[in-house]
Amino acid sequence: MVHLVKLFVITTISLLVGCNKEKNKDTAFSLKTKPVDSVVLRNILSRLKNCGAYSSDSEFRSTTANNDSIAQIIAPLIDNGRELKGELLSLISNSPDWQTLEQNTKDTIINLTDEQLAHLSLAFSASHYSRQPGVIGSAIHDCVGVALGIAGLQSVFATLATTPSVSSAIGVLRWIGRRFASYAAVVWMIWDFWDCMSHFN
C-alpha cells in the first residue's frame, strides 16, 4: 500500500512538472504576412518628399504636409500593419500568455491606431531586411535601432521577422500599443531610416 501511495505521488508530481513545462513553452509559428517591399518603401519616401514633408535638402519638416495626405501616402504601411496585427492576434489569442494579459492591455493591442500600424509595419519590414548578410544587413540593423526607436527591442523584432513566437508577438504588439505615434512621427521615422541608410549606399 505504501508503495502504491509513493507511486501515485511520484506520478502526480511528474504530470504537474510536465504540464508546467508545457505551459511555459513558447509556441513558434510562421507568418504569411510579408514585409513591405523595399521599392514600395522608397516610393513612400519619394512621395513624402513631393508632398512637402521634407525640405529640398531632405531635412524633415513636420508642419508642411497634412495628415490626410500623409495617411494616403503611407497607406501601404498601414494596410501591411493591419494585416500583420490581424494575423498575430489570430495566432496568439488562444495562448495562455494572451489569457494572462490584463483587459486594458488587450484592448490597447486590439485597437492600434493607423499611425501605430504604420510603425509596426515599418519596424517589421526593416527588421526583415536587416537579415541580409554582410555590410548591408549590419547597416540596416543599426539604422533600424536608431531611426525606429527600437534599439532595446531589436532582438524581439528580429525574432518576429525570422522565427516568430507567441512571446515575441505579444512583446512587439504591447510595445507598439504603448507608443504614441503621430503621422509626423511616422514620417520622421521613414526619413531618419532612409537618411541613415543613405550613408551605406
pLDDT digits (tens, 9 = 90+) for 63-72: 556 888 889 9
The answer to whether 113 and 153 have CB atoms below 8 angstroms apart is no
* Own/partner pairs, 96-105, CB within 8 angstroms, 24+ separation: 96/23, 97/166, 97/167, 97/170, 98/166, 98/170, 101/170, 105/174, 105/177
Q: Name the most confidently modeled range: 147-156, 158-167, 174-183.
A: 174-183
pLDDT of 149 reads 65
Higher pLDDT, residue 110 or 38 = 110
pLDDT in tens, 14-41: 444 444 444 445 778 888 999 999 899 8
